[in-house]
Every structure is written in structure tokens, then in C-alpha cells.
Amino acid sequence: MKICVKCRENFTDDSNFCPFDGTKLEIPDDPWVGKIINSRYQIVEKLTEGGMGKIYRGLQLYPEREVAIKILPPERLKEKTFKERFMREGMAVAMIRHEHIIEIFDAGETDEGIPYIVMEFLHGNSLEDELLKGPLSVKRAVSILIDICEALGPVHAMGIIHRDLKPGNIFLVKINRKDRNGRNEKNNGNEGDEDEEFVKVLDFGIAFLRDQPRLTDKNLVVGTPEYIAPEIVLGGKILPQSDLYSLGCIGYEMLCGSLPLGSGNPAEVVLKHVNEKPVPLQNMNPDIPPELCKIIMRLLEKDPKKRYPDAYVLIKAFYDLGLVKKTEIEIETKTEAEKMELPVEKKSILSNRMMPSLSLTSSHKRWEEFLATTKDLSNEIGKSLELINEMETLTAKLTKIEKEQFAMGKEIEKIDFEGSESISRLRHALNALAMEISEKKSIFMETKSRLDELNSMALMEEREVKKMLQDKELIQDEGERISYGIMSKLEKISRNWISIYEKIREEESIKDKLQNEISDLDYQISQIRQRMESIEAETLQKKKGFEEKIKYLEEEKKKVKERLSTLSSIFGRNVK
């Protein structure tokens, strides 16, 4: 197969020049470039390569949009765990649909059985690239941390732990505030800026999913050494606080330009996370507000229980610093009629393009234009008339096929839109419930702390009474009667003891009520999660028939295009 690097059309190996623009055809260095996956995604160029696969810039054909495509390296197919982990990324992210998490459009396997994931195409820089320039300003660092927390809140509520948060998996894009919410709004105190920095969390390839089988041995350390939580190193329980530890490492690095425990030999670095304390952030950069330093250092506690309990509490702590303004997120509501109506033009939040946009011209239009330019030549060259007639017939067939594919694509787009809207509404509900749980858990912990204090006080009073009753010197010799003073003291202690136990019963009642409310909210979240999974499965099932039809049409289209390519080559030789 040869491709035209200008229009990206594929041609047979016997063709040398593109009939549309005269560009010399090339055999791509990468065998994936130019291929069409699942009859819907054309691979345009390789962008990068990592441990979890190659990432390509691509074009979704039906409906048309620019995408990024991650493909599992074929040599890793033999590793069952690796393949399952790769597919888990698609499963983990697809249901979340959060503005601060890269969107997954599709996941599946090629005809050769190689897994792929189709994602939104991001224009911008990774946080890793930004940190090469040096530390960030305090306000910018806090804004980025808040955005990451806003992603982690619902992710953790869904029972998903990222496990590999690091600057390389945090992507920064510039968007117009009007594009974000359809209205101009203030963003984190930067009132004069038309554009705002927007965070996207990437790469859930090694994410831990609650209620899913563990893919890695407990003795195998998974993650990036410089950002890994101590409990993961020790093979302990994977917790939301594990991600918050990694976030602390990121925050530390953003604010002072250095990693909390350095880099180097991976084995040595992971042991440092277990055994060594980082240099206090305030010592690294005295200009950082002390309260912010306390937040970051608390995130870096070795004991998960000493860190923040969840991302929602952490968001509040960041906003309480007063360094950035809180942006209220409005939950859009739609009427039943509006829910069924597709937008005429769906704006991407990624409005600033740093690469040339891809042309979306359909193949049949190119062939129609090509035939229009050959009319005069065919009149002069009689032997080409038959070729032209066949090419016109094939082009008409190609037009019909592509129009059918486009119609199928619009149906898929409609199904995706409806599924996405349903999941988005459920995610908002889940997020609200998770925030409520976070608040109630905070109250629960405060209540528990008061109970511990009251129980300690009651125990002290009991010990005092026992001590008094056991002290023989306090008992009078005459008839062994207890003195009035001792009785008065006992009465006072008893009153205190009764008062304390009344408070204990009151706090126990509050604690039990909170526990029941938290359990009820947990149940509601589990029901929402199940419904989201159900909607995702229903959406995939609804799309299946249309996707199979597109695939069948693509095979027909391939035959037509191959014949057109051959005929155009013959026509070119005749003209010469």
C-alpha cells in the first residue's frame, strides 16, 4: 500500500503519483500509518511511543473528527496481563466522562486482534514539559492541583485509583472560557485573560478498579518511582490516598522545582518513599505560603491515614488559602425534546490548534474533481473513453457508499451523544453524593474524636472514684463511716461522670446516624455506578449494528478505490 502524504488517500502499489494533487506516493515507514482501523479510524502519523503502546494522530471518518489512537505493541500480545491492563484503561475512563480527564471515544481490537483505544486529540503541553522551564508560580500550581483534584474526586467515587499520577500524565491545554461553558466567566482570579489553562489527566493504563480482579502481583511494584506512595511499595492496600500522595509529589515539584525524594536508581528511590522524609517545602522555597507548605507536606505523610481523607476535602483546603477563586460548576438541565436533539456544531474545548488541522474531504469528492479535469483529455484520447466511463460508474458507487457510511456515522454519533448525556447526568449525581459523603465523613471523624475524648474523661472519673473508695485513710475509724467531705467529693465526681456519659450517648447517637447516612449514600453511589455501566453496555450494543454495516461498506469501498487507483494509473500512462 502507498499513501499520499498530502491528501492521505491510499493507493495500490502499482501507483506512483497521486491523481488528485500530483504528489509522489510513498510507502510509510510505520506499517500503521495510512491504515483504517475498524473501518472508522484512519491513522495519519505517529506521535509518540511508550511502555503502554504507540500513540498516533488519526482521523475518525464517521462522524469526522481529529483523534488520538493508542495501539498496543504486537510483541506484547503474548502477555495476557499487559493486554488486559491496556483494555482496562478504556473501560476505566469511558464511564467517567469528566472534563478534566481525557475522553475515550472507542476501544476495541483490529482485524488482526491488536487492541486499540481512540481518544480526543489534545493540543498543548504536558506538565512534565512545563517543569523543564522551572518551578511554577504559586497561583498556577494551586490551580493545576485543584483541577487534578476535581478529576480525582469522582474517579475515586467510582472505585478507580489511578496509581500513576505524575507530570507526564498531566496535560495542559489553553481554552477560551466561552468554549468551556458557553458563557464568559471568571477563572481562578485571572479576570483579564480570555484563555484559561485547562488540565487533562491521562493514562489510566495501570489503574486499580475496585470490584475487578487485580492484574498485578502484590509483590510487584507498579507505578513511577519518583511519585509512588509508600503503601504501594510495601504491597499494602491501594487507596485513594495513594493518588493523593503522588499529587503531593507533583505539588512539591511544581512549587520548588525539585522532587521530594530525588530521582536516580529506581530501587533506591522507592525505598526512600518508605523510609525517608522529604526536606520541608518551606526550606526549599521560603516564598511559598506556610499554609500551602503544610498541605503539601501532609499529602507526603507515610501513613495514608495522616493524609487528607479524599480529594474533596483537599479542594476545600486549597480554596481556603484564598490564592484562587472558586469556580462554580453549573449542571445543565435539558428538556426531553432537547435531550434527543443533536447540536449542529459541537465545539471542542481544545480550541487552540498547534498543528495543522486535518482535511476531511471525502474520497468520492476527490474522484469527482479528478474526473472533471479528465473530460477534455478523454475527448482527445478515444481509448480513454471506456476508462472514464468505468471510473464514473465506480465514483457514483463510491459516492453512494460514503453517503451510507456518513448516515451510519450520524446514527452512531446520536447514540454516543445520548449515552454520554445520560452518563454525564449520572456522574454529576455521583459527584454530588461523593461530596456529601466527604462532608459527612469529616463530621463523623470529628464526632469520633469527641467521643474518644469523652470516653477518656469518663475513664479518669471512674479511676478517681475507685481510688477514693480503696484508700483506707479516707474511711473514719468510728463505725467506718465515710466523712461528709469525701461524700461531697464523690457526689461531685458522680455528677461529672453522669454528665459525661449523657454526652457520650448523645455523640454515639450522632455517630450511628452519620454511619447509617454514609452507608445509604455509599449504596446510592453503587447503584449509580451500576447504572452507568449498564448505559455504557447498552450504548455499545446499540452502535454494534451500525458499526458492522460501516465495516461491510468499507470492504466494498476498498475494492472500488483499488479499481479506481488502477484505472487512474492506466489513464495516466495513456495521456503520456
Specify the pLDDT at position 473: 54
Whether pLDDT at 353 is above 50: no
How many residues does the structure list for the chain?
576
Least confident of 114-118, 329-333, 486-490: 329-333
User: In which residue are the cell numbers 471518518 written?
Assistant: 61
pLDDT at 329: 41
CA distance 402 to 400: 6
Q: Is residue 346 over pLDDT 50?
A: no
Amino acid letter at 400? K
Write down the pLDDT at residue 291. 96
pLDDT score recorded for residue 349: 31
Q: Where are the domains of the chain?
A: 31-121, 122-320, 364-576
| pLDDT computed for residue 364 by the predictor | 67
CATH of domain 31-121: 3.30.200.20
Check the CA dihedral 131-132-134-140 and report its sign: negative
- Residue 16 confidence (pLDDT) above 50: yes
Arithmetic mean of pLDDT, 242-246: 95
Name the packing angle between helices 138-157 and 240-256 (round to 10°). Answer: 170
Higher pLDDT, 278 or 123: 278
Query: Is residue 37 pLDDT above 80, yes or no?
Result: yes
Check the CA dihedral 522-525-529-530 and report its sign. positive
Q: How far apart are CA 479 and CA 457, in angstroms?
A: 34
Provide the pLDDT for residue 182. Answer: 37
Would the pLDDT of 254 be above 80?
yes
Phi, psi for residue 18 in degrees, rounded to 5: -70, 125
- The arithmetic mean of pLDDT across residues 258-272, rounded, is 90
pLDDT score of 113 more than 80: yes
Residue 508: count other Cβ atoms within 10 Å of its Cβ. 14
Per residue in 444-503, pLDDT (tens digit) is 999 999 999 999 998 988 888 777 766 655 555 445 556 667 777 778 888 888 899 999
Q: How large is the C-alpha radius of gyration of the chain?
A: 32
The 10s digit of each residue's pLDDT in 501-529 is 999 999 999 999 999 999 999 999 999 98
pLDDT computed for residue 351 by the predictor? 32
pLDDT at 311 over 70: yes
Q: Which of 139-148, 331-340, 357-366, 533-542 has the lowest mean pLDDT?
A: 331-340
Rounded-to-integer distance, Cα 130 and Cα 144, Å: 12
Tell me which of 331 and 273 has the higher pLDDT: 273
> Which grid cell sits at 252?
512539591
Tell me the catalytic residues.
164
Please check whether the domain covering 122-320 is classified as CATH 3.40.50.970: no
Fold classified for 364-576: Helix Hairpins (1.10.287)
Distance from first CA to last CA of the chain, Å, rounded?
A: 24
Reported as a single tens digit per residue, the pLDDT across 536-550 is 889 889 988 998 898
What pLDDT is attached to residue 378? 52
pLDDT at residue number 330: 37
Do the strands 115-120 and 195-201 form a parallel or antiparallel pair, or are they unpaired? unpaired
List, for residues 39-96, the tens digit of each pLDDT value. Answer: 888 898 888 887 677 889 998 887 778 999 988 877 777 776 777 767 766 666 777 7
Residue 164 near residue 223 (C-beta atoms within 8 A): yes
- pLDDT bucket at 7, cuts 50 / 70 / 90: low
Determine which helix (DSSP H) or strand (DSSP E) holds 209, and give its type and residue range: strand 208-209
Given a contact cutoff of 8 angstroms between Cβ atoms, the answer to whether 2 and 25 are in contact is yes
**Tens-digit pLDDT profile for residues 369-426:** 777 766 655 555 555 677 888 888 988 998 899 889 888 888 988 998 898 889 888 9
